[in-house]
Amino acid sequence: MIYDPHEDEPSRDMHLRALRVSLRSLAEAGTGQVPLFPDQSPSPGELASSFEQASALVKDAAGENAVTARQAAALDAISAGFEMLSRDEAEFGVELWTDTAVATSEPWVEIRRLAGEALEAFDWSESDEDEPPGAR
């Protein structure tokens, strides 16, 4: 069987789309208007889980060439931020994983900043929402 490097592109594009949605959700978390249906908005834990899953899939999708060094560093910084939140939870309790904390706590402000940097690293802007994603 001959290996076709383009064979996995649809799945890679799907993973990149999921990562882009996750990063945008993180970048905007706690900054906007209270949603009309708050029970339908993702919880802080869901935001973290979604990011970690999408990030791992993108990094693993194409091996060493999946992401650039800058992109990998941006994703790793967010993961480190979530690890810090999890460590701090042991000291400060579950308050860091509430909607209020997402909107007001310094660690979540940092997560939003890092998500914005990751969006820049992937060269994803608000105007490219309908374009196929890619690590440009």
Output the pTM of the full model: 0.78
End-to-end CA distance of the chain: 30
**Residue 61 confidence (pLDDT):** 73
In a domain, 1, yes or no: no
Q: Could you identify the residue written with the tokens 């308050």? A: 95
In a domain, 34, yes or no: no
**Residue 115 confidence (pLDDT):** 95
Q: What is the span of the domain harbouring residue 66?
A: 10-28+43-125
In a domain, 90, yes or no: yes
In a domain, 132, yes or no: no
Least confident range of 15-19, 21-25, 51-55, 91-95:
91-95
Can you tell me the distance from the alpha carbon of 69 to that of 13, in angstroms, rounded to the nearest whole number? Answer: 19
Q: Could you identify the residue written with the tokens 């690590």? A: 135
pLDDT band for 18, please (50, 70, 90 cuts).
very high
pLDDT tens-place string over residues 69-112? 999 999 999 999 998 888 766 666 677 888 888 888 899 999 99
Phi, psi of 58 (to 5 degrees): -65, -45
H or E element, residue 11: helix 9-28
How many domains does one find in the chain? 1
In a domain, 18, yes or no: yes
Rounded to an integer, the average pLDDT of 29-46 is 68
